[in-house]
Amino acid sequence: MDNIGEMIPMEEQRVRICDIAEELGVSTATVSNVIHGKTKKISDETVKRVMERIEERQYIPNMAGILLARNSSKIIGVFINDHEKYEGHTLDDFFISSSLNHLSTEIENSGQFMMVKKAKQAEEIIQFASMWNMEGIVVIGFCYQDYMYLRSHMRIPFVVYDGFCDNPERILNITIDNYDGGYQTGCHFKHLGHTRALCISDNKIGVDWERFRGFETGFHPGTTDFLLIPMCKEERWQFYRRNMEQLRRTSAIFAVSDYYAIDMISFLNEQGVPVPEQVSVAGFDDIPVSQMICPTLTTVKQEGELRAKIAIEKLRELKEKKEVETEIRLPVSLVVRKSTRKPHR
């Protein structure tokens, strides 16, 4: 009976290129070239023998090595800004996870591989992308200075999600109509009969500010308050408690993301303020969980699947040196659910 303690480690059982070469009486270079598809200078008979022996011996190639050795690695990198607001859970963010799911589908359908990396600086993107010989890159959550640094220090084609760019003609930015999304939400609250509204965001720049500007215009200029909220949840709820009087004065709250909208509903519930009976709340993104909470969330829907499809198409066009648009702005639509209603009288 075999002694389990003497079992050979998997690494030692694995068939190597040199094993195949020795068994067939050919060089390791010949076996390696067959595996990598470089068979122009190898006879058909030898190619056939090598392929048969590889199959017979169940040789498992090192795909990382093969991809790195080819001119075309078929690797698309997706780089996410590991921002402090995610509190160490960047990939758990609803928008990020949804974007990754859509990108994964499109990349797989295109016959390529997706590699995801969190990063804090543009230099990390260049280093990692070059190390893996990536064919293209999708960049999410960075700033204009980072995009320009990538443009001047890297030849790998890349596209940007929601890049708020001062000089957009040099960056391929795939974004949505953030202003119109805010505008539709403002009009919705106005038509319901609300007379005082509040917008919450953790910043006053970029796409979030565009959403606020649209909301203010759609609702009514001069009747919309703005609260700059902390990113950390614990600090944010303490902030809400300090500003409870202002929250109670408003009957309509627009959060620039579904995450903050859902968080606000949770806070109001804790404070005994029912949604939407006393306060209506709307968000932005239409993440899957927005349909699962109670009440279901009124929100602005963006087409994540369409954006992912366009991103992969444009990366291919950039690689082929084709002329592409520098900004693609996708439409959005308001989805009205149970979290908004006419104000309580």
Considering only 115-124, 149-158, 168-177, 224-233, which range has the smallest mean pLDDT?
168-177
pTM score, whole prediction: 0.76
Q: Can the peptide bond before residue 168 be classed as cis, meaning omega within 30 degrees of 0? A: no
CATH superfamily to which 75-176+304-331 belongs: Response regulator (3.40.50.2300)
At 182, list the tokens: 């805010």
**Hey, where are the domains in the chain?**
4-61, 75-176+304-331, 178-302
Q: What is the pLDDT of residues 301-317, one digit of tens each?
A: 999 999 999 999 999 99
Q: What is the pLDDT of residues 234-265, one digit of tens each?
A: 999 999 999 999 998 899 999 999 999 999 99
Residue 4 is predicted with a pLDDT of 39
Same fold? 4-61, 75-176+304-331: no
Q: Given this structure, which CATH class describes domain 4-61?
A: mainly alpha
Number of H helices, E strands in the chain: 14, 12
**Contact criterion met (CB below 8 Å) for 76 and 50:** no
- Label the pairing between strands 333-335 and 252-255: unpaired
**Fold annotation for 178-302:** Rossmann fold (3.40.50)
Q: What is the pLDDT of residues 60-96, one digit of tens each?
A: 666 556 665 666 678 999 999 988 777 778 888 888 9
